[in-house]
Chain A
Amino acid sequence: MVRSGKPDLGVRINKLNLKNPVMAASGTFGYAEEFKDLMDLKKLGAVVTKTITLKPRPGNPPPRICETPSGMLNSVGLENPGIDAFISTKLAFLKKLGIPLIVSIAAEESPVEFEILIGKLEAVKEIAAIELNISCPNLRKDKLVSQDAGDTAAVVGAVRKLTSKILITKLSPNVTCITDIAMAAEDAGSDALALINTLSGMRIDVRKRIPMLGSRSGGLSGPAVRPVAVKMVWDVYNKIKIPIIGMGGIMDVESALEFFIAGASAVSLGTVNFVNPGACLEVISGLERYMINNRIPDLSRLTGSLKLCQD
């Protein structure tokens, strides 16, 4: 027990050290530059980029956003400039931040794309980790890679051979059994798991009888999904050994704590960045305060500290 001084907010994901466990979630933080006026970006534990694909993607037709009870649906559809333009126009700013940079990537047609994507990222030493987005509901596919344990294992295994960087696999909540998928990713060599991506959802304009979103359905995020996410983190924590990056509806330190207690080693904040750009930094300082007040010397003692009454 540390008597004086600050608790240790540091967290390790294999050989990657984060000074604190709070990061900004993919797709909700642009390429960080968008937030530079609004916060001290250097204080973040890490930043995750918008998902990058091999070729530029125009994304889905508007409207792409609609609000739902305590949440929102988005059908952005992975709009991004493609890996080459990402490297030439977005990377310089991110490198200068000096915080661990996590690049999220996805394949549009075939997992072979990961090979080229990784080939281009591997040499950039400032990129600390690769997040495999195999769970985006806005890629018009019948089935997501992360909806099948075998497919997940195959893709993660293939990518594992290609990169020496930390590999994070991002999972979809739209599955029957999240732990099967999580174990498949762990066995295939993923260093950590990120969960959850958005939940598939739809909202209808009853006056016009049309979908509210241009591409009909989208992904639900925000506080509405939090209980689903917390339960999935808890379930997965009990089955795997690699660290979990928990996310889904975190709004403040209180909601972030639920994830740590359920088993997350780190958390990612998404939708809240739109509402309160200061949220990530508030969670960092709130977490420190909580640890001091509860005499928790380091974060690993908080992770998975859920108390269950024995009956």
Chain B
Amino acid sequence: MARITQLKTRIVCNRELAESYRYLEFESSCIAKAALPGQFVNIRVSGTSDPLLRRPLSIHGIKGRRVKVLYEVVGKATGILASKKPGDSLDILGPLGNGFNLDRAAPFSAKESNIVVAGGMGVAPLVFLAETLKKSKTQIAQAETIVLIGAKTKKFILCRKEFEALGFSVRIATDDGSLGFKGKVTDLLNSFCGKTRPGMIFSCGPRPMLQAVALAAAEKNIPAQLSLEEYMACGIGACLGCVVSTRQGYKTVCKDGPVFFGEDLIW
């Protein structure tokens, strides 16, 4: 695994995307060089003890020496992060965790496709995944990739353009029907699993959505790689605070994950 670094760096960009959704960019050539899709950084937003702990945020993409992050303001730490300006310093630990696995050696027939399922903020690491798939020479990356994005309403549908620019087809689901299919992104997934023959599902989003994705995948016998969240302290596998239940016992989300195969998880 790539070396983990702790660094103090500067914010390059920190702007609003839609309401509480924001885009952050910071400089770090070591993280930019080492990062793999699905990995995250653990950010300390304040030098004080309130908030005390770092907060995990997924790596959304790499642009030269810069690292991109998408985040939602949900509480204290993300609120403080939102108030920071370009040039302000940021204390980062990363890149962390075990990302998506693109080295699947099993025969991946031309008829099969990859399905990327994003729920809300879960889209963040999946753009990085899509960019990597596009460049990768692995077998899995040669298959067509279809992206399904779900959110509460139209304005929270992020990154559609990024996926389309990569040449991937995008389908949208919104809870209120303000854009695309009215309903859950997992309903879209179920209908796709009927029509096409997905070879691999990649997903990130709220836990209930991931559970539904895991269920759909299991029913159709499709391997699914799911990026999970759990409360974290260290982010490096030392405190054993961030575990999830798997068939091999408790595993740390920060080090063994955050990406797990659906069949290994116990919900």
A110 beta carbon closer than 8 Å to chain B? no
Which residues, 233 to 260 on A, are CB-close (under 8 Å) to B? Answer: 251
Docked-complex contact B231 and A65, CB < 8 angstroms: yes
Q: Which of B54, B241, B255 contacts A275 (CB 8 A)?
A: B54
Question: Chain B, 201-234, contact with A by CB distance < 8 Å: what is the 0/1 string?
Answer: 0000000000000000000000000000011111
Measured between beta carbons, the chain B residues less than 8 angstroms from A69 are 50
Residues of chain A within 8 A of B232, CB atoms compared:
65
Q: Which residue of A lies closest to B48 (CB)?
A: A70
> When A34-B238, A37-B5, A59-B240 are in contact, do A277 and B93 touch as well, CB less than 8 Å?
yes
Please state if B53 and A223 are interface contacts (CB–CB under 8 Å). no
Q: Which residues of B contact A277 (CB under 8 A)?
A: 6, 93
Decide yes or no whether A74 CB sits under 8 A from chain B.
Answer: yes
| Closest Cβ neighbor of B244 among chain A residues | A62
Q: Contacts A58-B250, A66-B231, A275-B54 known; A76 to B241 CB distance under 8 Å?
A: yes
By a CB distance below 8 angstroms, the chain B residues around A58 are 249-250
A28 touches B53 (CB 8 A): no
CA distance A98 to B236 in the complex (A): 23
Question: Which residue among B52, B245, B250 has the maximum number of chain A CB atoms within 10 Å of its CB?
Answer: B52
B3 at the interface (CB under 8 A from A): yes
Query: How many chain B residues have a CB neighbour from A under 8 Å?
Result: 31
A-B contact count (CB 8 A): 99
A212 to chain B, nearest CB (A): 9
A93 within 8 A of B: no
B180 at the interface (CB under 8 A from A): no
Verify if B191 is at the interface (C-beta below 8 Å from A).
no
Asked whether, in the complex, the Cβ of B234 is within 8 Å of the Cβ of A79, the reply is no
- Interface bin, chain A: 35 or more
Partner of B238, one of A35, A70, A71: A35
Given contacts A65-B231, A72-B53, contact A274 B244 (CB under 8 A): no
A63 and B231 in contact (CB under 8 A), knowing A79-B240, A278-B6? yes
B93 contacts across to A, CB distance below 8 A: 38, 277
Interface string of A116-133 (1 = CB under 8 A from B): 000000000000000000
Instruction: Enumerate chain B residues within 8 angstroms of A28, measured Cβ to Cβ.
Output: 234, 238-239
The one of B49, B238, B241 that contacts A29, using a Cβ cutoff of 8 Å = B238
Whether A27 is near chain B, meaning CB under 8 Å from some CB there, is yes
Proximity bits, B14-33, A CB within 8 Å = 1, else 0: 00000000000000000000
Complex: A278 Cα to B44 Cα, angstroms: 13
Interface of A is mostly: loop
Closest CB of chain A to B226's CB: distance in Å? 16
CB contacts (< 8 Å) of B240 on chain A: these are 30, 50, 59, 64, 76, 79
Q: Quick one: which of B4, B233, B249 contacts A37, CB cutoff 8 A?
A: B4
- List A contacts of B236 (CB < 8 A): 30, 34-35, 38
Pairwise interchain contact A70-B4, C-beta atoms closer than 8 A: no
Asked whether A187 is an interface residue with its Cβ less than 8 Å from the other chain, the reply is no
User: Do residues B233 and A72 form an inter-chain contact, with CB atoms below 8 A?
Assistant: yes
The answer to whether A64 and B52 touch (CB under 8 A), given A58-B250, A277-B6, is no
Which listed residue (B49, B54, B241, B244) contacts A223, Cβ 8 A?
Answer: B49
Decide yes or no whether B141 CB sits under 8 A from chain A. no
Q: Is B242 engaged at the interface, CB distance under 8 Å to the other chain?
A: yes
Contact sample, A vs B, 8 pairs, CB 8 Å cutoff: A34-B234, A37-B4, A38-B5, A64-B241, A72-B53, A76-B241, A222-B52, A274-B235
Other A-B contacts than A64-B231, A65-B239, A275-B44, 12 sampled, CB-CB below 8 A, are A37-B4, A37-B5, A58-B249, A62-B250, A66-B231, A67-B52, A74-B233, A76-B241, A79-B250, A273-B234, A274-B53, A274-B54
